[in-house]
Amino acid sequence: MASPQPLLRVRGIGKRYGDRVALQDASFDLWPGEVLAIVGESGSGKSTLLNAVAARDKPDAGSVQFQTRSAGLREVFAMSEAEQRLLARTDWGFVHQNAAEGLRMDVSAGANVGERLMGLGERHYGRLRATASEWLARVEIDPARIDDAPRTFSGGMRQRLQIARNLVTRPRLVFMDEPTSGLDVSVQARLLDLLRQLTRQMQLAAIVVTHDLAVARLLAHRMMVMQRGRVVEAGLTDQLLDDPQHPYTQLLVSSVLQP
Ligand SMILES: Nc1ncnc2c1ncn2[C@@H]1O[C@H](COP(=O)(O)OP(=O)(O)O)[C@@H](O)[C@H]1O
Ligand SMILES: [Mg+2]
C-alpha cells in the first residue's frame, strides 16, 4: 500500500547557468521504496536536476521537501548546512558515475565503508570491521581485500565499493548519476543485477540518472524523460517504454530498444 505522504516532494525546480537555462520547472513525487529513472540525451539537464534535488547544488527556483525520520516533511533548502550534511551521510546516499568522486581512493576499502558508520557515532573497531567485511561480501568484493585501497581495484569493483559505502548506513534514498556508464558492458550487467537486488531487498527509494533506457527498464518503477531542461513525459516504466506518447520519447525508444 502506498504511504499517505511521499518520501520526496519536488516542485518547480529551475536552474540557469548564465544565459543558459539548464532546467525548467521540474516537479515530481517519490514514494518510499520507489525507483525513479531520469532519462534523456546528454545535456538535457538530468544531472542538474539530480544535484539540485540532492541539495548538492542550489537551484534558482523551486522546492524540495524530504520526509525526515524525526520531523516529517521538511524543506531541504531551509535546513542548515549541518543538517543537510547529516542527511547526506545518513539517510541519503549519492553514487557518482566516476567512483573516484565518491570514494577515498587512498584509504582502505574497509575504511571507505566504515567511515559513514563512524559518522553515525559507531566507534567500536571490531564491529566496524565486521560490518565493512559483511558489506564487501554483499557487493561481491572478496573481504580479503578489506585492507586494500580502491586505487588497486577494477572499475566495477570501485563502483560496487561506492555502493557499499553508501548503503551501509541503510539510507532511505539513494541518488545515482549514470552509475554504470563508465564500465564495460559485461561489468555493467553484473552491477545492474546487484543494484536491482539491493534496491528490492532494502526497499530503497532511488533516483537513477541514465542515458540508457535499458538501465531504466531494469531498475526503475517509474521514469521521467527530459529534453532541453524540461520533463517532457513521465510514467510507469513499462507503460512508457511500450507506448511512448511524446515524439522525443518515441524517438528515444525506437532508436535504442529496436535492433
Ligand atoms: N557548471 C555548469 N556551468 C555551465 N553550464 C552547465 C554547468 N553544468 C551543466 N551545464 C549546462 O546545463 C545543461 C544541462 O547539463 P546537465 O544537467 O549536466 O545534463 P545531463 O546530465 O543531462 O547530460 C547543459 O547545457 C550543460 O552544458
Ligand atoms: Mg549528467
**Global pTM value:** 0.95
On average, the pLDDT of the chain sits at 95
Residue 210, ligand 1, Cβ within 6 A:
no
| Edge-first strand listing for the sheet containing 230-236 | 92-95, 173-177, 205-210, 35-39, 222-227, 230-236
Assigned CATH class of 21-91+171-259 = alpha beta
Q: Which ligand is nearest to the CA of 226?
A: 1
Q: How far is CA 156 from CA 37, 133, 160, 185, 196, in A?
A: 21, 18, 6, 11, 16
Q: Which ligand is nearest to the CA of 42?
A: 1
Residue 160, ligand 1, Cβ within 6 A:
no
> Whose CA is closest to 214, among 236, 197, 237?
237
Ligand 2 geometric centre to CA of 118 (Å): 30
Which of the four pLDDT bands, split at 50, 70 and 90, describes residue 255? confident
* Domain ranges (residues) in the chain: 21-91+171-259, 103-170
Q: Whose CA is nearest to atom 16 of ligand 1?
A: 45
The pLDDT, as a whole number, for residue 182 is: 85
Q: Best of 41, 47, 49, 50 to mutate for ligand 1, by most ligand atoms within 8 A of CB?
A: 47
247 φ/ψ angles, rounded to the nearest 5 degrees: -55, -35
3-state secondary structure of 238: helix
Give the residue-averaged pLDDT of 203-211. 96
Residue 119, ligand 1, Cβ within 6 A:
no
Ligand 1 geometric centre to CA of 244 (Å): 25
Q: Are 167 and 135 in contact (CB under 8 A)?
A: yes
Give the residue-averaged pLDDT of 145-174. 97
Rounded Cα distance between 100 and 144, Å, is: 21
Residue 123, ligand 1, Cβ within 6 A:
no
Residue 42, ligand 1, Cβ within 6 A:
yes
Strand partners, 39: 210, 225
172: DSSP letter: S
Ligand 1 geometric centre to CA of 48 (Å): 6
Ligand 1 geometric centre to CA of 252 (Å): 20
Residue 15, ligand 1, Cβ within 6 A:
no
Looking at the predicted structure, is the pLDDT value of residue 1 above 90? Answer: no
Q: Are 234 and 226 in contact (CB under 8 A)?
A: no
Cell numbers standing for residue 181: 556508464
The pLDDT, as a whole number, for residue 258 is: 53
Question: How many residues comprise the chain?
Answer: 259
Q: Which ligand is nearest to the CA of 39?
A: 1
Nearest ligand 1 atom, CA 44: 22
Higher pLDDT, 164 or 182: 164
| DSSP characters over 61-121 | EEEEEEEETTTEEEEGGGS-HHHHHHHHHTTEEEE-SSHHHHS-TTS-HHHHHHHHHHHTT
